[in-house]
Amino acid sequence: MGCVKCDREVYDGEMCIFHCEKDGWDKKQIKKFQDAFSKIELSNKDEDFIFPNIIIDRYDKNQVFYKNVTFSEKLIFENESFNKSLTFINCTFKKEVEFINCEVNGGIDFTGSIFEFTLKLESFKSMGFLNFSEVTFNEVHLNNNKDQQFNCNFYKSIFNDTFEAVNNKFIELNFEESTFLSTSEIKFEDASVGQLVYSNYTNYTHHILFKDITVSNELLITDIVYTNENFQDLKVFQAKKITINNVILNEQLFDSTVWGNINDKRFRGTKKTFRELKKYAELSKNFIDASAFYSLEMRAKKDELWIELNEIQNPKICERCLFYIKNILMYQLYEKTSNYSEDWIRPLVILIAFGMLSYIGERYGLGIIILGLGSYYLYTLVHCLIFNYKINSETHLILFSFIVILIGITMYSFFPNNEIPLSKYISPFGLFKGKDDLSVIELLSKVIILLLGYQTILAIKANIRNK
């Protein structure tokens, strides 16, 4: 008759060597248990075995798997090599745990474990991952691992005391839903990170410092109220994606951050977030970044309005048109004409082109304008199909504007009898006079010229400030 829990050979009472009680075992019994344990397939090692109070010996380091084990003695490994991953599931460590200058062909998994004393992980020669999901820490030192890039996961971990990580290189660093208690002090310095996830956590600590961190792929910061965090000298200019969403910022949070190219292809966030980032950029006299964040704020506002429009219950066509004209149209015109005051050349070119269109329409009729516009779009469509590339709406607008300007100047120069100066159609000043008898179309064109002139002035002012 076998063990009552697993049908293995009975070792003590009605239990096998894995499930029997092990109080007071001597070294010989422990050795026998370890020999038997090392022969079990890794997939079968997640059973609820009862482990003796042991220290991992040299002979079983190639297959380390412990579950629900309490280690009462120190675990110290220095200059050791492990051929496979080390797994400690729901274990408790009463004394120090140290891995110094070790080589692990795989990684170390501490899921659900508790460290009552110090954990030190330093100068790994080789390491694939460190998994600290749902781990409770006392004091942690993770230092000098910059020669080896690895994943590090602190999902739902609890930090009670000092956490120090200096001079490391991470593929991914994840602090999602972690808890920092009031007694803890967190310091990350001099690290290279592929993906940094810092979101939805509980923070009671007095200080969290991220200093001289370089993010090369993705930065994700969401669902956090920042009170005492500080990203000093954060470098995200190489990051392909930056998401900052549902956060409340403070002035020192992104101190001396190098953002790189601030545009909607890299950045994801809300109108409120970009407004806060713009405000703190202005406080630090960084007007170039402030202008770019303002542009992102306007784009986020426009996107919110589109969502609001699509959420209208059973809208009539007239209601949709009214909402669009009232709320969205001006944002789109602001974006297309001057990129929210970032580009002063674009509104100037469009202003001149629109004046030329007014001149051509008044001199030669609207028919030639419609014919020219249709010919232009037909040409670009065929050209793009042949050469297999796309032209965005901003490029279309600028290209068409330049063509109109060239045509207008040509017509004005080579066809005589120009009684009205060309500046009348272009200059935003002196457009309206008491003796003018304007039609609705003429009035609309003059208003558009004024708006484009105003956009040009705003954009020039913003660019001068940014210098």
Phi, psi of 211 (to 5 degrees): -125, 130
In angstroms, the CA 68 to CA 76 distance is 20
pTM: 0.64
- Judge contact between 84 and 63, C-beta under 8 A: yes
Residue 237 pLDDT more than 50?
Answer: yes
In angstroms, the CA 404 to CA 112 distance is 69
Q: What is the mean pLDDT of residues 323-343?
A: 71
Phi, psi of 165 (to 5 degrees): -135, 110
Reported as a pLDDT band with limits 50, 70 and 90, residue 414 is low
**Angle between helix 393-414 and 345-364 (nearest 10):** 50
Q: What is the pLDDT of residue 58?
A: 41
Q: What is the mean pLDDT of residues 347-365?
A: 72
In angstroms, the CA 223 to CA 208 distance is 17
In angstroms, the CA 363 to CA 445 distance is 15
In angstroms, the CA 81 to CA 24 distance is 31
- Beta-carbon contacts of 303 under 8 Å, excluding residues fewer than 6 positions away, are none
Q: What is the pLDDT of residue 111?
A: 93
pLDDT in tens, 10-26: 888 888 888 888 777 88
8-12, 219-223, 315-319: range with lowest mean pLDDT: 315-319
- Beta-carbon contacts of 447 under 8 Å, excluding residues fewer than 6 positions away, are none
Averaged confidence pLDDT in the chain: 76
* Among 255, 253, 220, 223, residue whose Cα is nearest residue 239: 220
Q: What is the pLDDT of residue 430?
A: 52
- The phi-psi region of residue 130 (left if phi > 0; otherwise alpha if psi is between -120 and 50; otherwise beta) is beta
Q: What is the pLDDT of residue 132?
A: 94
Residue 234 pLDDT more than 80?
Answer: yes
Q: What is the mean pLDDT of residues 102-126?
A: 90
Reported as a pLDDT band with limits 50, 70 and 90, residue 133 is very high
